[in-house]
Chains A and B, each alone.
Chain A
């Protein structure tokens, strides 16, 4: 019963990476069962463990959690990473939803057709520099605290750090003028659990490659 959470997903970032970050930051050890071929996914479906026939799925506390946001919210609630009241939860939600939008935009680059890649990259640059990073920098500037909400580590700080690493991978120069965000990234990265997660050999997954994408296409048939 009190076993480690088991993550069922493809061996790549995709829609499970944020969950890996959150569990790692909370200091929760987890196992992974990778879906590597269409048959693996079929088996999970036949076993009736996927509510909507989809992964991600996380087995924990006797439940089979699905839907990435529901999974993140459960973990955040359980490990006190979700603020202390409704208002703080609201702020955390708003910020993480904005982060999810940018995360998805950047993640979509690899499946963008070649003739649309350039305009997609420009859109990512524009949104990052002019919409999302300024919003979060402003929040930090406004209260001058070390964390986005309630002066305490929350899901929002962890997912923002994940996002900032993704932005850095895409184009490091985009972080240039956001000094408070850079400081937050450093601060969160230095937390012992996060530091460990950032080291080679951890369960953190590398960026998607064309090869991995082909593998994913076969498994998920897209």
Chain B
């Protein structure tokens, strides 16, 4: 399971992250096609797990360098590759990008996933930020005490159903389009799809009262690159398990 792939790919971005953490992510699973024009573009920065969605969406080739040990993290830190001594880190376009949101924004901007003007961009920003609040709960969940985990699943479901999903259901019902903003795929769709799929792993019927979101999820999932990403054998990571949690503790907290 633990594969350490070190690739010197000049053109493709390289993601540095623990595989297990990536496993825990799941979300970074939406691959979206942005149209033929983009399919032929230069590879883009690989999104740390989360961004695999956007990268895949742009049909960007990327490599991954998985962290498995504390020593590997130390090496990156000592080599001054990490601006704030942290991963995720994505090597791309001659730069070493850190900070999840910065990486997401960079990819989104480069691949027209950030709307056509400031108003659309701001709408996308607000939707993404709200969704990330929900996503954050999912990320933290495996690290809660086992006795607290079931309670937290209920809490996440409540937040999703009462606070977040109604907003997006209303947006979709309002304009009747296939994407949240500007009638084209954006970062907001990628992050929301990712979150929905990750939640469905824990609560299979979470969308039962949201017909527009259900249709939306199906439509997005059928976009060719996303579909490929959702199939076995892709770079999408499986749900987190005990090995994942232990490895993270070993790398970051020992």
**B122→A52 contact, CB < 8 A:** no
Q: Which of B85, B102, B109, B110 contacts A94 (CB 8 A)?
A: B102
**A90→B126 contact, CB < 8 A:** no
**B122→A65 contact, CB < 8 A:** yes
Interface size on A (CB < 8 Å)?
Answer: 25
For the complex, what is the distance from the CA of A90 to the CA of B114, rounded to whole Å? 14
- For window 69-89 of chain B, which residues contact chain A by CB distance below 8 Å? 83-85
**B83→A93 contact, CB < 8 A:** no
Interface size on B (CB < 8 Å)?
Answer: 27
For the complex, what is the distance from the CA of A132 to the CA of B86, rounded to whole Å? 11
**A67→B163 contact, CB < 8 A:** no
For the complex, what is the distance from the CA of A66 to the CA of B130, rounded to whole Å? 9
Once A53-B163, A98-B83 are accepted as A-B contacts, the answer to whether A69 and B122 lie under 8 Å apart by CB is no
Query: Does B179 belong to the interface (CB within 8 Å)?
Result: no
Residues on the B chain within 8 Å of A78, using CB:
118
Once A51-B126, A74-B118 are accepted as A-B contacts, the answer to whether A90 and B83 lie under 8 Å apart by CB is no
Q: Which of B85, B98, B101, B109 contacts A86 (CB 8 A)?
A: B109
Give the one of B84, B99, B101, B119 with max A CB within 10 A. B84
**A52→B133 contact, CB < 8 A:** yes
Q: Which of A52, A63, A65, A93 contacts B101 (CB 8 A)?
A: A93
Residues on the A chain within 8 Å of B126, using CB:
51, 65-67, 70
Question: CB within 8 Å of A: which residues of B?
Answer: 83-85, 95, 97-102, 105-106, 109-110, 118-119, 121-122, 125-126, 128-130, 133, 163-164, 167
Could you list 15 further interchain pairs (A-B, Cβ under 8 angstroms) beyond the known A67-B130, A97-B99?
Answer: A51-B126, A52-B167, A73-B122, A74-B125, A77-B118, A87-B95, A90-B95, A93-B102, A94-B83, A94-B99, A97-B100, A98-B98, A101-B84, A135-B83, A135-B84
Question: CB within 8 Å of B: which residues of A?
Answer: 51-53, 63, 65-67, 69-70, 73-74, 77-78, 86-87, 89-90, 93-94, 97-98, 101, 131-132, 135
